[in-house]
Chain A
Amino acid sequence: MITVNRYVCGYCGACVGVCPVCALELVETWIEVSDECIECGRCVKLCPTGALSLEGAKG
């Protein structure tokens, strides 16, 4: 599951633009993750602040 550290996130929207399945949404100052996430990890790698992490297996 993708988790967002809201204390680190700079709400820039870069992760939204790279997600291949449109699973992320920037709502003004926070990121929402939908069930569509396929846990590819692309957003984690590209986040400029390191606010995202991929934890646990899909279940």
Chain B
Amino acid sequence: MRCDVVVVGAGPGGSMAAKTAAERGLKVVLIEKRQEIGDPVRCAEGVSKARLSSMIKPDPKWIASEVKGARLYAPDGTSIVMSEDKSGDEVGYVLERKIFDRALAMDTARAGAKVMVKTRALDLIRRDGSVRGVRAMRYGEIIDIEADVVIGADGVESKVGRWAGIDTSLKPGDIEVCAQFLLYDKSIDDEYCEFFLGNELAPGGYVWSFPKGEHLANVGLGVIGSRSEPGAPVKLLRRFVETRMPDARIVEMVVGGVPVSGPIERTIADGVVLVGDAARQSDPITGGGILNAMQAGVIAGEVVSEAVSSGDTGVEGLMAYEKRWRESIGKQIARHLDLKEFFIRLSDEDLNKLMHSIQSEDVSKMDLRGMLRVLIRLNPKMLWELRHLVM
């Protein structure tokens, strides 16, 4: 089989990349190893309303709920409220990703791309040293899909990058390991996302509760890998749910890893582009990666289309991708990496102190950066090394 571009992985990043390239007239093949796109879910499904709407028209079919804001709890229970329009990148819509991912893949098919499920990339095909497509297994058979460019959108596993010589493997401090239950409990507030901080609850991470309507919510937590141990996320989550909502009815379980390494050195190689979690583009503080993957996917689709029509699909021809994502989503990812490295070192006492200091301020209209600015003004000594992030 021969095409212009083969995209590996039909998550939000891969689908947006494939769709964008197909809309520009390229012959595109999108392969996905699962037999059902979007399932099983590995996500808490929270996204910013404004940012999502700038990329795709929201469809009630894949929106589970809309929230008014977020509540943040310190280890001792002190809390603050952030409103939806300002807590911006963190909350807004809670999606139904099983439907969302599928809808994006269907849009991609409608745009002209060939979508192949149950098709797993095994390796890159090389000819005269250059990448010339992927070898894949489809329904148990080996097939070659020849292409000028391979877009690796293969998520946390990120093997395409490694086959291309980019070391994407995550060290323990570069990953949040997570567990989540979709549960029903009367105590769930349908209008607010909630975040609980604390080294006992989730070392180097946090517990989240994202409502999905009618007292259902994705309740989960992430632990920084360097402080995790075998099975810790599941154990900690069970403890949280058993102590805080003993009557909860659990109807689904999710486990997974979110890259929090921040920008990696290189996301392109000769004939290869990495997108989304595969390029480690998820946010190191929030762990959010859907929208970054989608935005990077669009940039990749555009750059690859130009590269294919100009005939230069080598590193030079793809360089615009590297530049464009670093100048857009890359800046925030880099800033949030510094923030994460600092926050995972804070003790519960520090976290309580920070939360107490901000009680008398009105933060309901602030975004994360605005809030950080206030926190630094109120706690100059503790937060001295973060000054550069709000300049």
B253 touches A47 (CB 8 A): no
Interface residues in A12-33 by Cβ distance below 8 A to B read 12-14, 16-20, 22, 25-28
B179 within 8 A of A: yes
A2 within 8 A of B: no
In the complex with contacts A44-B230, A45-B228, A20-B169 CB distance below 8 A: yes
B257 touches A17 (CB 8 A): yes
Chain B residues in 8 Å Cβ range of A52? 230
B86 within 8 A of A: no
Chain A residues in 8 Å Cβ range of B102? none
Nearest opposing residue in chain B for A10, CB measure: B255
In the complex with contacts A13-B156, A14-B257, A46-B177 CB distance below 8 A: yes
Query: A-facing mask of B214-245, CB < 8 A → 1, else 0?
Result: 00000000000100111111110000000000
What is the total number of residues of chain B having a CB less than 8 Å from a CB of chain A?
A: 37
Chain A residues in 8 Å Cβ range of B234? 48-50
B120 touches A46 (CB 8 A): no
B230 touches A12 (CB 8 A): no
Chain A residues in 8 Å Cβ range of B171? 18, 42
Stretch of B32-40, B335-343, B361-369, B371-379 lying at the A interface: B32-40
B contact patch SS? mixed
- Taking the closest CB of chain A, its distance from the CB of B37, in whole angstroms, is 13
Chain B residues in 8 Å Cβ range of A16? 156-157, 159
B156 touches A50 (CB 8 A): no
Interface footprint category on A? 20 to 34
Chain A residues in 8 Å Cβ range of B162? 22
Chain A residues in 8 Å Cβ range of B40? 10-11
B13 within 8 A of A: no
Chain A residues in 8 Å Cβ range of B233? 48-49
Interface residues in B310-369 by Cβ distance below 8 A to A read none
B178 within 8 A of A: yes
Query: B-facing mask of A45-59, CB < 8 A → 1, else 0?
Result: 111111111000000
A17 touches B157 (CB 8 A): yes
B42 within 8 A of A: yes
B170 within 8 A of A: yes
How many angstroms from the CA of A20 to the CA of B232 in the assembled complex?
21
Chain A residues in 8 Å Cβ range of B231? 47-51
Extra contacts, 6 of them, besides A17-B259, A50-B235 (Cβ < 8 A), are A17-B170, A45-B228, A46-B175, A48-B257, A50-B232, A53-B230
Chain A residues with CB under 8 Å of chain B are 10-14, 16-20, 22, 25-28, 42, 44-53
Q: Which 4 A/B pairs are nearest by Cβ-Cβ distance? A: A50-B231, A14-B257, A10-B255, A48-B233
